[in-house]
A = this chain, B = another copy of it.
Amino acid sequence: MNRKIGDQTFELVNKPTIIGTGCFVGEKEAFGPMGKYFDGYSSDDTLGQDSFEKAERKFFERAINIALRKTRLKPTDIDYMIGGDILNQLVSTNYTARDFQIPLIGVYGACSTMSESLALASGLMSGGVGKIVLCLTGSHFSAAERQYRNPLEFGNQRQTYSQWTATGAGCVILGSGEGPKITKIAFGKVTDYGVSDIANMGAAMAPAAYQVLKAFFIDTKTTPSDYDIIATGDLGKLGSDILRDLLIKDGYYLGQNYMDCGHSLFNSEQKTFQGGSGAGCSAIVFSSYLYEKLKNKDINKMLLVATGALMSTTLNQQGETIPCVAHVVEIMNLKEKVNG
Contact = CB atoms under 8 A, between A and B. Distances in A.
Interface in A107-160: 107-110, 116, 120, 123-124, 126-131, 147
A54 B318 contact: yes
A187 B91 contact: no
B53 A106 contact: no
Contact of A53 (B88, B109, B314): B314
Given A128-B2, A312-B88, A53 B107 contact: no
A335 interface: no
Nearest to A102: B189
A174 to B, nearest CB: 14
A192 interface: yes
Given A53-B318, A94-B323, A127 B2 contact: yes
Nearest to A143: B314
Nearest to A146: B314
Given A124-B127, A187-B80, A323-B95, A318 B104 contact: no
Interface stretch (A3-11, A58-66, A299-307): A3-11
A116 B105 contact: yes
Nearest to A308: B106
A212 B310 CA distance: 30
Contacts of A205: none
A101 interface: yes
A89 interface: yes
A246 interface: no
A241 interface: no
A315 interface: yes
Contacts of A90: 108, 310
Most chain B C-beta atoms within 10 Å of own C-beta, residue among A90, A97, A190: A190
A108 B79 contact: no
Contacts of A13: 128
B103 A187 contact: yes
A145 to B, nearest CB: 14
Contacts of A221: none
B106 A325 contact: yes
A325 B81 CA distance: 13
Interface of A: 1-4, 8, 10, 13-14, 50-51, 53-54, 79-80, 84, 87-91, 94-95, 97-98, 101-110, 116, 120, 123-124, 126-131, 147, 185-192, 310-315, 318, 320, 323, 325
28 contacts: A10-B129, A10-B130, A53-B315, A53-B318, A54-B315, A88-B88, A89-B110, A89-B312, A91-B315, A94-B323, A95-B323, A98-B323, A103-B186, A103-B189, A104-B187, A105-B120, A106-B108, A106-B109, A107-B107, A120-B120, A120-B124, A123-B124, A124-B127, A124-B129, A126-B127, A127-B127, A127-B129, A129-B185
